[in-house]
Structure 1
Amino acid sequence: MIVSNVSFSGCTRANSALCTGAADRHLEHNLSRTTLSPTGNLIVSVCLGFIGTFGFLNNLLVLVLFCRYKVLRSPINLLLINISFSDLLVCVVGTPFSFAASTQGRWLIGESGCVWYGFANSLLGIVSLISLAVLSYERYTTMMGPTEADSTNYRKVALGIAFSWVYSLMWTLPPLFGWSRYGPEGPGTTCSVDWMAKSANNVSYIISLFVFCLIVPFLILLWGQPKNPFGTLFF
């Protein structure tokens, strides 16, 4: 349950229903408030509308071109398609809800919707980041390898794509089962991992997420870069 900064220690069996109602009302208040002014919400909604619309169109165009032109269906491009696919899903299952919440100045789809939004966006964001790390590693091993890359070998790339999804699920499912939690963040019109709770349970998850889903992929990206700073322009 997404309840923060509140104590119900005075609840007893005799008034448990009353306390449950109080918790639900607190949660509803937490999800319905925003810390931004109407002008602030308007600016955020315009930015989200722009990002969502162009992100959807651009990534959809990438997928259409990949499906239409056989010459683009190389193993390495599958990793790029995986990134475009995950980004497209963000524009479909994430951005519309935060956009609608910003236009109304409050979260609109309740506690379950908040948990779903936080989980889905965390999952898809980590998939994109891990896919970039896998792409960097693949390019590095190809350039450093003694033989020419096999442009027909899809197995290694398919394993990399599967790894990006499994690894992301491994780090985004725990909050659904008690290791940290998903809840409102920022101005109250989006949801994510509970970044503010100071409990050992929550802090341990945040540190682990930071290390294994940001620092490690970032180090792999740095390690996979060629010595020539312009080398990444010429795959």
Structure 2
Amino acid sequence: MIASNASLSGCAGSDGAGGALCAQLENTRAYRTSLTPTGHRVVAVCLGVTGTLGLLTNLLVLVLFCRYKLLRSPINMLLVNIALSDLLVCLLGTPFSFAASTQGRWLIGGAGCVWYGFANSLFGIVSLISLAVLSYERYSTMMGPTEADASNYRKVSLGIGLSWAYSLLWTLPPLFGWSRYGPEGPGTTCSVDWTAKTTNNISYIVCLFVACLVLPFMVIVYCYGQLFRAIKQVSGIHTAMSRRREQRVLLMVVIMVVCYLLCWLPYGVTALLATFGPLGLVTPEASIVPSLLAKTSTFINPIIYIFMNKQFYRCFQALLRCQTPKRGSSIKSTSKVVTKAVRAGAVVAGNGAGNNTWVTEGIGAGDHNMAVMVASLDQPPEGADG
């Protein structure tokens, strides 16, 4: 985030973008670390824990998806895409910053720094955009006027392709001259050069912040806000069974939004302070904390979006016990109960609710629509519901 001050090893023999980076860093002699050995060890421990948790949780998600056919639904494909992007961060990014932190200096040269910055930005933005696509898919599935087709992967495939294409759109420009990738923090990680005060660099930072942080956040808040609004209106029609569901959905939405902000907002704000503030406003020591918070998303995402999903939780239990997963009420029976309530409420809405009719019609369009919402958003692990 902040160009640090440590001697970059491995510059000899670098060419292209990496050689140019090395030459500039060595000419300015502005690459020395300001962290103490103890500070580097603390960062290394944090990176080691984050990388290990992210590797295990996301790998487990992929194993569950490949092992159990009942998980292979269109919306779960989006969850797998998030897990895959987070897993790639843990495999292709975190080990290099961990090794650098243990040694107190960057170890794989200028070209490696450019690669690290590009790869981590690419996979991180894929994860962010996938979260936004997931929220929109849940919103459109529940609010759609027709029953969702559980075998139609075309829409979700387009969403997954969009997340990767959109990420490439914003991570390739620094390789071709619109800003650049360089060292950040205490000199043991690399990212976009946040400190250059040129128009070229500042314009990229502003566009990146709006397109890859603010826009996905707005989509997430809008879609989950509309979903909660719809469920709340159904609760008003059938309060006997829906009040606890409404509270669970509200809790899940708050957790999703708060964790998104905790992981990414500090990083974005610190980057903007480094870009627009005076030189030295954000020190390397201060900048490493937001960077570590952003990396925690690699294991927080699977916990929130997958292991709080009852489908995945049942399959996880079955994997541990070497059993066939119980189908239970996570999809069909729960959705039937909810849909009956919604359809009963639709009669009330039709008689006097007026503008609320579209909500009940959209939710009651089919069992699968409500099942997706129930199973993928508000279902707690078995036993938590009493």
Q: Which residue in the other structure is 1:99 paired with? A: 98
Partner of 2:116: 117
Report the 3-state secondary structure (helix = DSSP H, G, I; strand = E; otherwise coil) of the residue aligned with 1:152. coil
Task: List runs of 5+ in structure 2 lacking aligned partners.
Answer: 6-19, 229-245, 253-376, 380-386
Mark the CA change 1:27 to 1:84 in structure 2 (over 3 Å): closer, same or farther.
farther
Alpha-carbon separation, structure 1, partners of 2:83 and 2:210: 24
Q: How many residues align?
A: 217
Q: Name 1:196's counterpart in structure 2.
A: 195
2:157 and 2:119 mapped to 1: Cα distance? 22
Q: Distance in 2 between matches of 1:129 and 1:63?
A: 19
Could you tell me whether the CA contact under 8 Å between 2:61 and 2:80 is conserved in 1?
A: yes
Cα distance in 2, alignment partners of residues 30 and 128 from structure 1: 33
Instruction: Render the CA deviation track for 1:87-121: whole Å, top value 9, x for unaligned.
Output: 00000100000000000000000000000000000
Residue deviations 1:8-48, cap 9 Å, x none? xxxxxxxxxxxx9x9367169555x3221111000000010
2: CA distance between counterparts of 1:126 and 1:36? 28
Match runs of 1:77-156 below 5 Å: 77-156=76-155
SS of the residue corresponding to residue 36 of structure 1 reads: coil
Deviates more, 1:166-175 or 1:34-43: 34-43
Letter in structure 2 aligned against 1:26: E
Q: Deviations over 1:61-107 (max 9, x none)?
A: 11011001111111000000000000000001000000000000000
- Give the 3 Å change call, closer, same or farther, for CA 139–161 of structure 1 in structure 2: same
1:16-35 to structure 2, matched below 5 A, reads: 23=23, 26=26, 30=30, 33-35=32-34
1:13: which partner in 2?
A: none
Q: CA deviation at 1:230?
A: 3.2
Paired position in structure 2 for 1:208 = 207
Please report the TM-score for the alignment, with normalisation by the length of structure 1. Answer: 0.87
2:248 pairs with one of 225, 230, 235: 230
What secondary structure, in the 3-state scheme, does the structure 2 residue paired with 1:183 have?
Answer: strand
Q: Distance in 1 between matches of 2:156 and 2:25?
A: 48
Taking every aligned residue pair, what percent have the same amino acid on both sides? Answer: 70
1:64-79 equivalences under 5 Å are 64-79=63-78
Contact 2:4 2:33 in 1 (8 A): no
Larger Rg: 2
Residue type of the alignment partner of 1:230: R
Give the TM-score normalised by structure 2.
Answer: 0.54
Matched residue, 2:167: 168
- CA distance in 1 between counterparts of 2:190 and 2:84 reads 21
Q: Mark the CA change 1:145 to 1:123 in structure 2 (over 3 Å): closer, same or farther.
A: same
Q: 2-side partners of 1:173 and 1:127: how far apart?
A: 13
* Structure 1 gap ranges (5+): 6-19
Secondary structure of the residue that 1:148 maps to in structure 2?
coil
Shift of 1:146: 1.3
User: Where does residue 8 of structure 1 map in the other structure?
Assistant: none
- Which residue number corresponds to residue 9 of structure 1? none
**Equivalent pair of 1:179/1:205 in contact (CA under 8 Å):** yes
Paired residue secondary structure (1:41): helix
Contact 1:28 1:110 in 2 (8 A): no
SS of the residue 1:191 aligns to = strand
Whether contact under 8 Å (1:30, 1:188) holds in the other structure is no
